Amino acid sequence: MNPGMTLLSMERVTGGYGDADILHEVDLKVEKGEIVVVVGPNGAGKSTAMKAVFGLVRVRRGHIWFDGSPVAGWTPDRIVRRGVCYVPQVDNVFRDMTVHENLEMGAFIRRGDLSAAFDKVYGLFPDLVSKRREAAGRLSGGQRQMVAMGRALMLDPKLLLLDEPTAGLSPKYMERIFEIVRDVRAAGVSILLVEQHAKQALAFADRGYVLAAGRNRRDGTGGALLADPEIARLFLGG
Amino acid sequence: MTLLDFVNFHVVPGLVLGSIYALGAIGVTLVFGVMRFAHLAHGDLATLGAFVALGVVRFAGVGPWQALPVAMLVAAAVAIGADRLFYEHLRKRPLILTVIASLGVALMLRSLVQVGFGVDPQSYVRGLVRPDVFFGIRVREREVLTVLTAFGLVAALGAFLAYTRWGKAMRAMSDNPDLARLSGVDTRVVTALTWGVVGALAAAAGFFLGLNTELRSMMGWQMLLPMFAAAILGGVGRVEGALLGGLVVGLVEETSVIFLPAQYKSATAFVILLAMLAVRPTGLLRGKVL
């Protein structure tokens, strides 16, 4: 691939929380316009790898490049301004604030007219339009996940980081969320996705990474990983 | 006892005291919501505000109402300063340390007041004020103004929280501090803003208590319990709950004298506090923090 098309690149990243390293020389790339999925067993460091991109993990060695800038060690708000938005797995909405206010908070660092951003997000999540005046904490799990993604999309990011957006959702909502992920990509946003539902996610991902015990185990196109018998046996539940 | 007597001797003073408690309880609830700790210096911050107003009245020769904005500004600055000096570096340690530090700040503020103004009761204006009578209801002008100003301040705070950029940021930080940070909210600004609002409201509470009774260096400390009772009654973290809680505690205290000797008046707040913690610790309006 053309190196000019690379949006995010982690190179031999080692780091974690406090003194303990969770990631060991992890390599990961997202090209412009890609959906990249990170899968692996519990405790593999999937979420930690994502948080490292967003400055929430201490990176001890290695480099993280985003859109030409070395972002390792940056604070989250600086990375947000550069065009990366992150949706945590849990506690990802302001429960007592309305849906509309949640979206507004997503664009907190941006001044001026937000109506175009609101239109875009409500266009992606039509289910939210009728709920705009409701407190986000009163919505169903799937709708709350949409609010969380919508909040992150208000800044028009280049890269969206999604940490297990389908955790705890019914299969129906999982399909809906995956559909939205594809819509978001179609709107020009690259996506790095950490998923427990590995098979379903790899089925629509451009590429995937398998992490285990904080190290790269395998990477390739979604289809190639799904077809790999060893990966299937070890990580995808047969 | 006639209904008119009940209104004159219990409802009117209850509403006045309740408005004062409400202003204090809103500060308690804001600190709890945004900073997640019980601020024990809150009462003495109110005392400081009351005495700053007294100082302005004495030295600038203005009326107490002109002194109120000055007192609110000074108390806001003191609250922000206390946070910077005494609470900020404890932020990453267990919260109980900040609670204890706030007790230290309470003692410091009270001592400052005692050094400056002595320990004898004082008042803003000398002489008795005769109440006006409307349809048999006796109220003093200052009582009406106390309730109106208190409600005005609460309404202004409500509008600030509901409609302004930084008001929403304050609610966001109270709601989900991590997500607020991820959204690019500068938590230092929100923290300073919260302390400013809290200090100003505490000063107003102290001022109104001094205006309607007298100024004593222990006045705020003695108001701490009813303010916390009001905040918990309304649901910790909820401004509208603190307003409701303040009014309820004020009215209950002033009607308790029908059934109990007057010395037990302040114990009723304690009973409310215990009862709420035992039965419904989330408060009447389901608090966000407890």
**Residues B192-210 pLDDT 10s:** 999 999 999 999 999 999 9
Neighboring chain B residues of A101 at a CB cutoff of 8 Å: 168, 171
Averaged pLDDT of chain A: 90
* The pLDDT of residue B195: 96
A238 falls in which pLDDT band (50, 70, 90)?
very low
Q: Do B185 and A104 touch (CB under 8 A)?
A: no
Let me know: does A81 contact A101? Beta carbons within 8 Å. Answer: no
Of B175, B176, B184, the CB nearest to A77: B184
Joined tokens for residue B110:
């009270």
Q: Lowest-confidence range among A190-194, A224-228, B189-193?
A: A224-228
Q: Residue A2: what pLDDT?
A: 47
pLDDT average, residue stretch B167-196: 92
CB distance B24 to B246 below 8 Å = yes
The predicted model gives A77-81 an average pLDDT of 87
Tell me: pLDDT of A3 over 60.
no
Please determine, for residue B290, whether its predicted confidence score (pLDDT) is greater than 60: no
Residues in A touching B165 (Cβ below 8 Å): 108
Q: Where are the domains of chain A?
A: 33-43+76-235
Higher pLDDT, A1 or A192: A192
Tell whether the model's pLDDT for residue A37 goes beyond 90.
Answer: yes
Cross-chain Cβ contact B165/A76 below 8 Å: no
B172 neighbourhood in chain A, CB within 8 Å: 94, 97, 105, 108
Inter-chain CB proximity A97 and B171 less than 8 Å: yes
A54 to chain B: which residues are within 8 Å by CB? Answer: 182
In the CATH hierarchy, which fold is given to the domain comprising A33-43+76-235? Rossmann fold (3.40.50)
Rounded Cα distance between B64 and B82, Å, is: 26
- B43 vs B229: CA distance, rounded Å: 13
Check B169 against A105: CB less than 8 A apart: yes
Q: Which letter, b or e, does each residue of A163-174 get, where b requires 16 or more Cβ atoms within 10 Å of its Cβ?
A: bbbbeebeeebb
**Is A96 in contact with B168 (Cβ distance < 8 A)?**
no
pLDDT of residue B128: 72
pLDDT of residue A1: 44
Domains and CATH numbers, chain B: 3-279 (1.10.3470)
Measured between CA atoms, how close is B37 to chain A, in angstroms?
Answer: 20
* DSSP characters over B239-250: HHHHHHHHHHHH
Which of A51, A52, A82, A76 has its CA nearest to residue A64?
A: A52
Q: List pLDDT tens digits, range B39-76.
A: 999 999 999 999 999 999 999 989 999 999 999 999 99
